[in-house]
């Protein structure tokens, strides 16, 4: 699987494009009509450990708990035990291993490139993305999903959201969290926080659970009438905190339904674009199965007047999913990927003005 977004970012950093951007930080040369770099330069500069077997010509790279295996002469690699496809094969030249420049992005988070001119899609009205509100789901008396070994959704998503905040702030984005500790916030209040902060986009972060314990993967939802039984069931589960809230909120949902529907119709295309960007980047960079970009009736999105999505970062009901979400390094990589997806949308939106 190609990491299309990070590869594109790497190319922008190398050749510039329509905007001025920092150069790729290492020596490059063109091999097979593609930009390559010496892998050992990256290892020395970025703290990547390596092990090379000259007989098998396998180079194993490790950083922050992540492993990438390269084979000289092959355009296939193994990332976290998952086969991936490189743009060109790794080569050995004058006793130096050279790799296509996208290889760095599999181990080292890409810096923030400058947006370049992009084609504008019909019917999508975009604006600069300067302020982002992240919503860690659940909290306080509402633990959310709980894994078989006791991992709680509210704890996982707060940690991931905090890490996404740091990544986006590194890229110059102003970021607010709806909660930064373990407290309960009514669903109606969460989009209001985004409105008060004058946010440009709203991203609610959750972890999923289902009776089918074999299901694992990443999903992104935008507000819509639920289109299938799975979406209805998930919306019902995520809307369960309504039972813990003031009944007046249910009445306000009804009173404002027509207005919200009009506003969400205006933002739905932008929300779908944001959802697709997030899904593409996370599934590629995490080598995680993308279960789809879907519409569902989440109450937490209904009060938002801006492009808004809800992401499910994995399944706590799946044994492997709970194990991964318990790992701080895995959550860090997930946060970096979500931030990269948001930045992809930001670059597109701002380049389309």
Residue 209, strand partner residues: none
C-alpha to C-alpha distance for 271 and 345, rounded to whole angstroms: 10
118 located within any domain: no
Co-location of 201 and 92 in the same domain? no
pLDDT band (50, 70, 90) for residue 212: confident
What is the mean pLDDT of the segment spanning 190-207? 92
How many domains is the chain built from? Answer: 2
Say whether 350 sits in a helix, a strand or coil. helix
Contact, 347 vs 247, CB < 8 A?
no
Point out the least confidently predicted range of 101-110, 132-141, 159-168, 334-343.
101-110
What is the mean pLDDT of the segment spanning 177-202? 92
pLDDT in tens, 215-259: 887 888 887 654 444 544 444 445 555 455 444 444 343 333 433
pLDDT in tens, 67-90: 999 999 999 999 888 888 888 999
Co-location of 19 and 99 in the same domain? yes
Co-location of 135 and 243 in the same domain? yes
pLDDT of residue 65: 83
47 vs 233, higher pLDDT: 47
Q: Which two tokens stand for residue 82?
A: 């998952």
Co-location of 60 and 136 in the same domain? no
Co-location of 243 and 309 in the same domain? yes
Does residue 150 have a pLDDT over 80? yes
Centroid of chain to Cα 213: 23
Co-location of 324 and 187 in the same domain? yes
Co-location of 74 and 144 in the same domain? no
pLDDT band (50, 70, 90) for residue 107: confident
117 located within any domain: no
What is the mean pLDDT of the segment spanning 15-36? 68
121 located within any domain: no
Co-location of 186 and 81 in the same domain? no
Consecutive H or E run containing 166: helix 153-170
114 located within any domain: no
Co-location of 169 and 313 in the same domain? yes
SS3 readout for 216-283 = CCEEEEEECCCCCHHHHHHHHHHCHHHHHCCCHHHHHHHHCHHHHHHHHHHHHHHHHHHHHHHHHHHH
Co-location of 142 and 197 in the same domain? yes
pLDDT of residue 118: 54
Contact, 284 vs 210, CB < 8 A?
no
Centroid of chain to Cα 49: 26
Co-location of 85 and 156 in the same domain? no
- Measured in degrees and rounded to the nearest 5, phi and psi for residue 78 equal -125, 120
pLDDT band (50, 70, 90) for residue 1: very low
C-alpha to C-alpha distance for 112 and 219, rounded to whole angstroms: 24
Within a 13 Å sphere around the CA of 327, how many CA atoms are in the beta-carbon half?
A: 14
207-234 per-residue burial string, b: 16 or more CB within 10 A, e: under 16: bbbbeeeebbbbbbbbbbebeeebbeeb
Contact, 70 vs 103, CB < 8 A?
yes
For 300, the domain range is 131-351
What is the mean pLDDT of the segment spanning 303-331? 88
**Residue that is last in its domain, among 59, 91, 106:** 106
113 located within any domain: no
**Number of CB atoms found within 10 A of residue 305's CB:** 16
**Residue that is last in its domain, among 71, 106, 141:** 106
Q: Which two tokens stand for residue 248?
A: 């007046």
CATH number of the domain that residue 148 is part of: 3.40.630.40
pLDDT of residue 38: 96
340 located within any domain: yes
CATH number of the domain that residue 73 is part of: 3.30.457.10
Task: Tell me the average pLDDT of the chain.
Answer: 78
**Residue that is last in its domain, among 67, 91, 106:** 106
Does residue 211 have a pLDDT over 60? yes
Does residue 190 have a pLDDT over 70? yes
pLDDT of residue 14: 38
272 located within any domain: yes
- Measured in degrees and rounded to the nearest 5, phi and psi for residue 150 equal 95, 5
Contact, 271 vs 201, CB < 8 A?
no
Does residue 5 have a pLDDT over 90? no
115 located within any domain: no
pLDDT of residue 37: 95
Does residue 162 have a pLDDT over 60? yes
- End-to-end CA gap in the chain: 31
pLDDT of residue 114: 52
Co-location of 214 and 252 in the same domain? yes
Does residue 208 have a pLDDT over 80? yes
**Number of CB atoms found within 10 A of residue 19's CB:** 13
277 vs 2, higher pLDDT: 277
Q: Is 67 left (phi over 0), alpha (psi -120 to 50) or beta?
A: beta
Most confident of 270-274, 297-301, 348-352: 270-274
């Amino acid at each position: 699987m190609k990491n299309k977004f990070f590869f594109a970012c790497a190319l922008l950093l190398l050749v510039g494009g329509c905007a001025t951007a920092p150069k790729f930080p290492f020596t490059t040369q063109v091999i097979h009509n593609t930009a390559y770099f010496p892998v050992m330069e990256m290892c020395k500069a970025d703290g990547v450990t390596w092990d090379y077997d000259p007989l098998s010509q396998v180079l194993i790279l490790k950083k922050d708990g992540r492993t990438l295996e390269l084979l000289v002469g092959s355009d296939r690699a193994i990332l976290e035990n998952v086969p991936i496809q490189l743009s060109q094969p790794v080569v050995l030249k004058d006793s130096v291993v050279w790799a296509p420049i996208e290889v760095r992005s599999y181990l080292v988070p890409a810096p923030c490139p400058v947006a370049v001119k992009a084609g504008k899609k019909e019917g999508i009205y975009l604006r600069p993305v300067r302020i982002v509100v992240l919503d860690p789901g659940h909290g306080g008396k509402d633990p959310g999903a709980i894994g078989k070994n006791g991992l709680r959704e509210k704890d996982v998503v707060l940690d991931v959201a905090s890490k996404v905040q740091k990544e986006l702030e590194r890229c110059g984005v102003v970021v607010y969290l709806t909660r930064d500790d373990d407290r309960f916030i009514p669903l109606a209040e969460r989009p209001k926080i985004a409105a008060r902060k004058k946010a440009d986009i709203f991203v609610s972060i959750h972890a999923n659970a289902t009776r089918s314990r074999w299901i694992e993967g990443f999903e992104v939802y935008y507000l819509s009438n639920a289109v299938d039984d799975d979406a209805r069931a998930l919306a019902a589960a995520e809307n369960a905190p309504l039972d813990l809230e003031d009944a007046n909120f249910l009445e306000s949902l009804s009173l404002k339904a027509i207005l919200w529907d009009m506003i969400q119709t205006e933002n739905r295309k932008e929300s779908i674009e944001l959802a697709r960007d997030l899904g593409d980047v996370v599934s590629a960079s995490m080598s995680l199965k993308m279960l789809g970009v879907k519409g569902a009736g989440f109450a937490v999105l209904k009060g938002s007047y801006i492009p808004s999505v809800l992401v499910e970062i994995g399944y706590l009901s799946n044994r492997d999913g709970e194990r991964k979400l318990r790992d701080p390094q895995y959550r860090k990589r997930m946060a970096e990927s979500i931030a990269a997806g948001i930045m992809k949308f930001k670059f597109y939106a701002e380049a389309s003005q």
